[in-house]
Chain A
Amino acid sequence: MSLAQVLFLIVAAVGLLSGLMVVTVRNLLHAALWLIVALFSVAVLFAMLNAGFLAVVQVVVYIGAIAILIIFAIMLTRREALRAGAQENRLWPVAGVLCALVFLGLAWSASRLPGAQSGPAQLPGSDALVALGTALVSPDQYVVPFEVASVLLLAALIGSVVIAGDRLRSR
């Protein structure tokens, strides 16, 4: 096995393990921290696939903004809810079997995709970035989704004000 494969296995194992810990650990804040580990391992996978832009975007947006948002949301909850008791999900063996079946199905269909056996695409870095940028703003490519994305973000801003508005106004 080449070094790249060993590294991939390690990072993937860390990602899976942290994902498991997110849903099983009892302290809610620890769950958030395991989530950060999982997100970081995804970023490392992106970097290993030569997708540098996606790796840094993953860290900047997911870990830098969304994980902090989640931690703030956890801290907004009442203190009693932080120290959760044991997991109360009795059907977890069934869920486990279903997950395993879904995973096997996905793995089988993914292995039949063209190029599934090859290594990461050797994209020269800056060319890929230029291509991405051009694709985002060219009128015959993705400029409309680009502008619509800004409208979507505007909607998110307005939504956040509306949601927080009640709490703020009741002060």
Chain B
Amino acid sequence: MIQPGDLIASLGSWLRGFLLSLGLAPGLVSVGLGLLPAILLPLIGLMMAIPLIWLERKWVARLQDRIGPNRVGPFGIFQVFADMVKIFTKEDLIPQGADKIIFSLAPVLAIAGVVGIWAVLPFAADVYGVNLDVGVLYVIAVGTFGTLAILLAGWSSNNKYALLGAYRAVAQLITYEVPMVLTLLVPVLLAGSMGLNDIVRAQDSGWFVLLAPLAAIIFMIAAQAEVGRAPFDLLEAESELVAGFNIEYSGMKFGFFYVAEFLHSFTFGALGAAFFLGGWLGPGSERFPILGVLYFLIKSLAVYFVFVWTRGTFPRVRIDQMINLSWKLLTPTALGLVALMAVAERATQGTPPLVHALVLLAANLFVLFFALLVMRSMSRAARERLASRQAGSGSGMVAVGGSRAPAGAASALRD
């Protein structure tokens, strides 16, 4: 399946031959070569952050009708290196009264929580770190370390606003983890396995985004909230809580939170590509793994671009609106979707692929329609309640949409 002429395979066999010729035992060489990706892949992942930050800054700038970094090097491509030098040479400040060990541990945990996902990303047919049979749950498990890192960062900073920001951030993260994991059940359902590579392979008869578009949409929304990107970026809202749990962090530690955030977005883009867009699948990717890696990269960047696009387009969502969105819309929709998809998938198992796809698509649309219907009737009821309350009290406040605006604004100020 893999031609010896392929770049990655030939590199691997050359390395093996080289190490064997040095006189090392074959067993040691096998173990060493097996573990070499474990050392290289985190480094590659961390290095990916550099072009990514530049790309994002350029994209967001264009969306905001400006140019972005363009001074340091042609098109500003050395901007990130300049920033790195600045961050490396800043003074390492620890606020007084802060818990030193935990304060320094939090950024490391944040990075480990993101880079750890790279161990199971399927870059190509046989190019991956390790094909864990519980890959999806492993991704979630590693993500919880990121959540923990934020809590530790906020608590150990000895700063009221950091603590406040950390509480809100963790509330947001755990709220959105439920619909995210629920929609991750859908590719597992359709592929019959939790391993990411198996999920990618199962898409060669049709990308899951075509079979389950609603799941893809909910996953994208929940993923953006999990990462803390706009419109859900209350976690480090510069105009609200002064950077939230990040307040007391400066220099390299802040640099790590910064890198972790960008890398987290890209990693979720990669996960979206693997789960819904067919990962490394594409013409010729079975024979030439390097093509598979290329397709995977392109698809991840496409999803990442959608993330950047929404960042540049939407205003920030208020915290109570955000939490309500997850518990009251995304979670029930995802629950109904998983149940209906399981039944539909099992019912159409023997039928020809087109019927199968259409039935699944119909199930998605049905759930979407039903959810929007319920939401519309509820917001209508809330609006009427608000109107009757105002008619009764005679106040002159303007009703805003379906949300309970007066109560919401007061609460946002209260906490």
Contact = CB atoms under 8 A, between A and B. Distances in A.
B148 A36 contact: yes
A60 interface: yes
Interface in B127-164: 132-134, 137-138, 140-141, 143-145, 147-148, 151-152, 155
A36 B141 CA distance: 13
B410 to A, nearest CB: 12
Interface in A64-98: 64-65, 67-68, 71, 75
B144 A52 contact: no
Given A29-B155, A33-B102, A59-B141, A129 B133 contact: yes
Contacts of A71: 151
A64 B147 contact: yes
Interface residues of A, number: 19
Nearest to B143: A64
Contacts of B152: 33
A59 B134 contact: no
Interface string A45-72: 0000000110011011001110110010
B285 interface: no
A84 to B, nearest CB: 16
Interface in A103-146: 125-126, 129
A52 B132 contact: yes
A64 B133 contact: no
Interface in B169-186: 170, 174, 177
A85 B187 CA distance: 51
A53 B137 contact: yes
A77 to B, nearest CB: 14
- Which of B143, B151, B177 gathers most chain A CB within 10 Å? B151
B152 to A, nearest CB: 8
A167 B193 CA distance: 43
Interface string A23-56: 0000001000100100000000000000011001
B49 interface: no
Contact of A52 (B133, B151, B177): B133
A126 B155 CA distance: 40
A36 B143 CA distance: 15
B144 A63 contact: yes
A71 B151 CA distance: 9
Nearest to A58: B141
A68 B137 contact: no
Given A71-B151, A126-B193, A129-B194, A53 B144 contact: no
A53 B135 CA distance: 9
Given A64-B147, A68-B148, A71-B151, A52 B134 contact: yes
Contacts of A56: 134, 137-138, 140-141
A63 B148 CA distance: 9
B195 interface: yes
A125 B133 CA distance: 6
Contacts of B137: 53, 56-57, 60
Instruction: Output the residue of A60, A63, A129 with the most chain B CB within 10 A.
Output: A60
A60 B133 contact: no
Contacts of B174: 65, 68
Given A52-B132, A129-B133, A60 B141 contact: yes
Nearest to A63: B144
Of the listed residues B143, B148, B167, B193, the one surrounded by the most CB atoms of chain A closer than 10 A to its CB is B148
B134 A64 contact: no
22 contacts: A36-B148, A52-B132, A52-B138, A53-B134, A56-B134, A56-B137, A56-B140, A56-B141, A59-B144, A60-B140, A60-B141, A63-B144, A63-B145, A63-B148, A64-B140, A64-B148, A67-B148, A68-B174, A75-B167, A129-B133, A129-B134, A129-B194
Given A56-B138, A75-B155, 15 more contacts: A33-B152, A52-B134, A53-B133, A53-B134, A53-B137, A64-B140, A64-B143, A64-B147, A67-B148, A68-B151, A75-B167, A126-B133, A126-B193, A129-B134, A129-B194
Interface of A: 29, 33, 36, 52-53, 56-57, 59-60, 63-65, 67-68, 71, 75, 125-126, 129
Interface of B: 102, 132-134, 137-138, 140-141, 143-145, 147-148, 151-152, 155, 167, 170, 174, 177, 193-195
The list of the 5 closest CB pairs from A to B, nearest first, reads A64-B144, A59-B141, A125-B133, A56-B137, A126-B133
